[in-house]
Structure 1
Amino acid sequence: MSTKGIARLFQRPPRFLCPSVSRQFVRTLKSIHPGKNSSRFNHGHNLPILGSSHTAAFLRKEPMLPLRTGALAIKKGMTGVYDPETCRRVPCTVLQLDRCQVISHKRRDTHGYWAVQVGSGTKEARNVSRPERGHFAAQEVPLKEHVVEFRVKDEEGLPGVGSIITADLFKEGQFVDTRAVTRGMGFAGGMKRWGFSGQPASHGTSLTHRAMGSAGPSQGSGSRVLPGKKMAGRMGGEMHTVQNLKVVKVDAENGIVVVHGAVPGPKNSMVKIQDAIKKPWPEVDAAVGLMMPEGMPTRLAAEV
């Protein structure tokens, strides 16, 4: 036999030595390990972030997040303050901080977002559950009656755990957003709850002057009341935000912040105060309004 015949004989192994493989199995292997001709939109590096992912949602919301934490205050009531710029007596709300302190942090790599957990007031240990007591003990901070969170933009907005937040965190002339639970009105009618004009006062109207009227159309909409229809029901007791309130006066010694305008909630209710997101950020030092108490170890945000 010639040399060419021997080479042709060993180019391909005999068929009895090659087990048959189905095409479906080959497709499965290709799907598990894509080749070089795979789509560039599904595999590879330097690809655009999907708009429906958590990372894209965080990047969209990042420019609207405040640069620093807020404070938790008590609504003491309303008063009037003379404004020298407008030469008028303007209505204001008095807010007072009560032992407002940083409890812990929420980190993006662990919790998915940056936030500062702030506590206010005090509470007896017998009125606090064991998991809550363990949380305060792990952070080496005293027990707090009220605990809230303030979202921040990045890690630079996380103050040290245990820092006491004072009233001079805010300066006069800046704008803040206030958030609190509104006063509960109970069951209210359509006129009080939604501002309906009511029925006519005369011309045959009998005992239905404040009635709502028709609640739903007939055949055109299926002879039913459409979802979301404004009707009588429980009013108030909901979280409400009032934006762009100007800080009129700050008393750091007594922990009082006076803002221009009304703040949601009844007297002695808790109000969240933070820099307004629709106004320019105040140009203040990051350490202003934060004080580490004596005898407490200082822990930076990166170590917590």
Structure 2
Amino acid sequence: MSGMLGRKIGMTQVFDQAGNSIPCTIIQAEPNVVVQVKMAEGKDGYDAVQLGFGTRKPKHTTKALLGHFVKAGVPPLRVLREFRDFVLDVKPGDEVRLEQLFAEGELIDVVGVSKGRGFQGVVKRHGFGGVGSRTHGQHNRERAPGSIGASSFPSHVFKGRRMAGRMGNKRVKVKNLRVVRLFPEHHLILVQGAVPGPVNGIVELYKKAQ
């Protein structure tokens, strides 16, 4: 799907004509730079457009990436992403702007990396209720997971059992978010609802296939 990169700014609310409050996420999507165009007929084997977002100092860029940027004739960029089946006819060095892809009222998909919560127990991670109140001298069972399987048979814990572990810091896609407002002069897009990730986190905006 066609799309572009942006940065999550925060949340706000707008009001419709009936006076209803619509919670919105503000995303700053400055013009993305086309770094590479891949063709199915060539050695790549598939059609895709690689876009770059954000600036990066040359001294903080590897020589391999510097050569990649020099070949495209663009300055070093912080984030690179590929978008397949791109609807615009572009070439390396071109800019992809917000208003070229999106319009108010349409539905888009947004991908971000969720906030990392570290190692968490089952109560916070999966919403367990805990074993219950303290009884018979127990003092550390309120937030325990309880039984995790049989003993002698099958003598192992089944894969996928909900247990304690790392929470968050995963790639999350939220589908069908409505574009509420576009501010092309400020490179801002307001989408209805929440978007995964922290403030200033990088997000990917995907245009729905027509």
TM-score (norm 2): 0.91
Higher relative contact order, chain-length normalized (CA < 8 Å, sep 6+): 2
Note if 1:125 corresponds to 2:58.
yes
Q: Output the CA distance in 2 between the equivalents of 1:193 and 1:113.
A: 39
**Which is greater in Rg?**
1
* Structure 1 unmatched ranges of 5 or more: 1-65, 282-304
Give the aligned partner of residue 179 of structure 1: 111
More helix by share: 1
Q: Output the CA distance in 2 between the equivalents of 1:157 and 1:108.
A: 16
Alpha-carbon offset, residue 99 of structure 1: 4.1
- Cα deviation, 1:237-270, whole Å, max 9, x if unaligned, reads 1111000000000000010000000000001010
Note if 1:233 corresponds to 2:186.
no
- Cα deviation, 1:108-161, whole Å, max 9, x if unaligned, reads 2322221110001111111111111111111111211111111217xx655232
Alpha-carbon offset, residue 203 of structure 1: 5.6
1:136 counterpart letter in structure 2: F
Corresponding residue to 2:36 among 104, 116, 133: 104
Q: Output the CA distance in 2 between the equivalents of 1:267 and 1:179.
A: 14
Is the contact made by 2:33 and 2:94 (CA closer than 8 Å) also made in structure 1? Answer: yes
More strand by share: 2
Q: Output the CA distance in 1 between the equivalents of 2:83 and 2:6.
A: 13
Is the contact made by 2:30 and 2:97 (CA closer than 8 Å) also made in structure 1? Answer: no
Is the contact made by 1:102 and 1:117 (CA closer than 8 Å) also made in structure 2? Answer: yes
1:234 counterpart letter in structure 2: R
Q: Output the CA distance in 1 between the equivalents of 2:147 and 2:40.
A: 50
Q: Output the CA distance in 1 between the equivalents of 2:46 and 2:127.
A: 39
TM-score (norm 1): 0.64
Task: Write out aligned runs for 1:14-25 (5 A).
Answer: none
Q: Output the CA distance in 2 between the equivalents of 1:219 and 1:76.
A: 54
* Structure 2 unmatched ranges of 5 or more: none
- Cα deviation, 1:46-96, whole Å, max 9, x if unaligned, reads xxxxxxxxxxxxxxxxxxxx3xx2110000001111123x64101110000
Q: Output the CA distance in 2 between the equivalents of 1:146 and 1:229.
A: 35
Q: Output the CA distance in 2 between the equivalents of 1:88 and 1:236.
A: 32
State percent identity of aligned pairs: 37
Misfit runs of 4+, over 3 Å: 201-206
Task: Write out aligned runs for 1:148-163 (5 A).
Answer: 148-152=81-85, 157-163=88-94
Give the aligned partner of residue 269 of structure 1: 201
Count of aligned residue pairs for this structure pair? 207
